[in-house]
């Protein structure tokens, strides 16, 4: 009986495609899947994670992650910052998710943390949503602050051009995010919020996101984000999928 119910729902989903509910499009990911740039008065250090270092799952989900702290050094060997851990997840629906944890060295440090660019077959009638969170953690007892640095907000999501270029979808988290001595403070924001989607202007064929902020010396910052774009479901497809759920529910009650 379960197999029959799943078969019926699958059939309805397939039919829904004819009503404009598009199937996920195959996507391409840029070779650099994570780029972290840390800058202070001692210089600049860069870390890059590459596509070949991650893992594909069933050909449509990609994950790159690092769990071992990496020292980010200036050209003269001075410690500018530490990249503690990070994770990038891309799905060809399409979705780009970015998580990270970093520590500033002995000076206030500006971080630029950039996701991969996810490219896909153009979506002409699209909608999207984005969410981001940032945490500041004090380590040395004098408080910690994550502040905006050269951007209106701490996080930005873009389409049709690799960030910082491209068209703006949403800038999130105004900052500053300040933590008292030996404590942590978090801030988060969603667009449009409430699990809803908002319209994306024009045809869309790629997406990317970025955190940029200044962090006080010797302190920690972490962040998490999710950015999704999808075809706008046609009203007929939504109604048909609702009918599929109703039919499955009736069979369960028999």
Q: How confident is the model at residue 17 (pLDDT cuts 50, 70, 90)?
A: very low
Give pLDDT tens digits for 87-131: 999 999 899 999 999 999 999 999 999 999 999 999 999 999 999
Q: What is the CA radius of gyration of the chain?
A: 21
Asked if 156 contacts 210 with a C-beta cutoff of 8 angstroms, the reply is yes
Give pLDDT tens digits for 131-176: 999 999 999 999 999 999 999 999 999 999 999 999 999 999 999 9
Q: Among 120, 90, 130, which residue's Cα sits nearest to residue 231?
A: 120
Contacts of 28 (CB under 8 A, 6+ apart): 118, 119, 120
Q: How far apart are CA 172 and CA 156, in angstroms?
A: 6
Asked if 33 contacts 51 with a C-beta cutoff of 8 angstroms, the reply is yes
Q: How far apart are CA 164 and CA 149, in angstroms?
A: 13
The H or E element spanning position 237 is: helix 235-253
The H or E element spanning position 235 is: helix 235-253
Give pLDDT tens digits for 45-87: 999 999 999 999 998 999 999 999 999 999 999 999 999 999 9
Q: How confident is the model at residue 238 (pLDDT cuts 50, 70, 90)?
A: very low
Cα dist from 181 to 81, 108, 144, 252, whole Å: 20, 16, 7, 56
* Range 189-219 burial, b when 16+ CB lie within 10 A, else e: bbbeeeeebeebeeebbbbbbbbbbbbbbbb
DSSP of 34-91, one letter per residue?
EEEEEEETTEEEEEEEEGGGSEEETTTEEEEEE-S-EEEE-TTS-EEEEEEEEEEEEE
Tokens 């979808």 correspond to: 169
Give pLDDT tens digits for 214-234: 999 999 999 999 999 999 997
The H or E element spanning position 250 is: helix 235-253
Fill in the DSSP letter of residue 236: H
**pTM (two decimals):** 0.84
């Amino acid at each position: 009986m379960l197999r029959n119910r799943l078969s019926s729902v699958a059939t309805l989903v397939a039919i829904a495609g004819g009503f404009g509910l598009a199937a996920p499009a195959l996507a391409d990911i840029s070779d650099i899947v994570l780029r972290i740039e840390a800058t202070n008065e001692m210089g600049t250090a860069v870390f890059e994670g590459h596509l070949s270092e991650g893992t594909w799952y069933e050909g449509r989900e990609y994950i790159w992650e690092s769990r071992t702290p990496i020292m980010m050094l200036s050209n003269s060997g001075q410690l500018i910052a530490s990249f503690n851990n990070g994770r990038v997840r891309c799905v060809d629906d399409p979705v780009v998710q970015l998580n990270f944890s970093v520590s500033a060295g002995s000076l206030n440090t500006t971080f630029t943390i950039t996701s991969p660019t996810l490219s896909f077959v153009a979506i002409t009638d699209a909608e999207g949503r984005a969410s981001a969170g940032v945490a500041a953690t004090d380590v040395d007892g004098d408080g910690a602050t994550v502040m905006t640095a050269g951007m209106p907000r701490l996080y930005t999501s873009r389409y049709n051009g690799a960030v910082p270029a491209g068209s703006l979808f949403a800038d999130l988290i105004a900052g500053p995010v300040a933590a008292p001595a030996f404590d942590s403070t978090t801030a988060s924001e969603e667009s449009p919020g409430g699990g809803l989607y908002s319209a994306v202007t024009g045809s869309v064929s790629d997406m990317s996101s970025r955190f940029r902020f200044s962090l006080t010396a010797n302190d920690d910052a972490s962040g998490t984000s999710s950015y999704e774009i999808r075809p706008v479901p046609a009203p007929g497809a939504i109604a048909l999928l609702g009918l599929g759920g109703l039919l499955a529910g009736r069979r369960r009650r028999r």
